[in-house]
Amino acid sequence: MIATVTLNPAVDRTIVVDGLTVGGLNRVRSSRQEGGGKGINVSRALAAMGERSQAMGLFGGAPGQLIVDGLPELVQARPTWLPTGETRTNIKIVDEESGQTTECNEAGPAIAAEVLALLQESVLGELRPRDYLVLAGSLPPGVPEDIYQRLMTAAKERDVCCVLDASGPSLAAGLQAQPDVIKPNQAEAAALLNQPLDGRDAQRRAVRRLLDQGPRIVVLSLGGNGALLGRGQELVWTKLSVKTVRSTVGCGDTMVAAVVYGLQRGWDLLQIGRFAAAAAGGAATLDGTAFPCLEVIQELEREVVSEVWS
């Protein structure tokens, strides 16, 4: 079983404009909204690949109900409902001319300690040996920065494979629980290690340093420059060049889903990296927060370039 946890889910509203004018009038070409938040996105991406998962997290009000009701059939909702407050709404503005996406993300509702305790009880009560637990995304107000560390420590006692996609203090604290997989992007890893990651040598050193802190696998997302995966002494770089980028929202979450998909099947690091690059690249070609199906990913995988780095 794969369980995803989203402590700060969101309704993602994506607005498409021909050219974003800051401080001026913008005509909207199209708009759409979907349930989002990093863990929710991982579950949705897994469903597009044909994989079942459980989506757990903190949900509130009509926006929270919209997310739960909109989950794909292969995603089983296990919500912990907030007694007060509503799930946040995030605005994504896609500029068709530049290909850039501007994000405006709300902080989310404040979480009381007793609600967080219910969430932890729900998550740990579902886990069984050899399950996968994906902890992803920002923390809402009131949630301590070591929450991911605490959840993973308890999960690993149950022989659960833990995947962490976080940033800042919650990533730093989470590393102390030695997650099986982490997936920082370039900026997150640079901030954590306090070093720039420009160029192959710096990226190689960064992955080595992160591996030394305990994760079994490090997936360093490099945006349009691909991803660098490390496990033990292995380093694998993969990239899919995309002609037309429709939206970058959810690409990193699709990569996490693809890594879990490959780990479940016992793939080697190169195969996981190629599949993950194809999946993330496929997501970039879709509007809004959308995810490619397995057949599309397998087709795109033929176009992935890869290298084994020493």
Active site residues: 253
Q: What is d(CA 106, CA 123) in angstroms, rounded to the nearest whole number? A: 25
Q: What is d(CA 68, CA 75) in angstroms, rounded to the nearest whole number? A: 10
Q: Where are the alpha helices (DSSP H) in the chain?
A: 38-48, 61-69, 113-126, 147-156, 168-174, 186-193, 200-212, 251-264, 269-284, 294-300
Would you state the structure tokens that stand for residue 10, as one six-digit string? 């969101």
Q: What is d(CA 2, CA 307) in angstroms, rounded to the nearest whole number? A: 29
Q: Which residues does 157 contact at the CB level (< 8 Å), separation at least 6? A: none
Q: What is d(CA 106, CA 87) in angstroms, rounded to the nearest whole number? A: 9
Would you state the structure tokens that stand for residue 243, as one six-digit string? 């002609």
End-to-end CA distance of the chain: 35
Pairing type for strands 305-308 and 101-104 reads: unpaired
Question: Mapped to the 3 state alphabet, what secondary structure does 222-274 carry?
Answer: CHHHCEEEEECCEEEEEECCCCCCCCCCCHHHHHHHHHHHHHHCCCCHHHHHH
Q: Which residues does 37 contact at the CB level (< 8 Å), separation at least 6? A: 6, 8, 9, 10, 57, 67, 136, 137
Quick one: how far is CA 220 from the chain centroid? 12
**Cβ atoms 9, 57 nearer than 8 A:** yes
**Cβ atoms 306, 236 nearer than 8 A:** yes
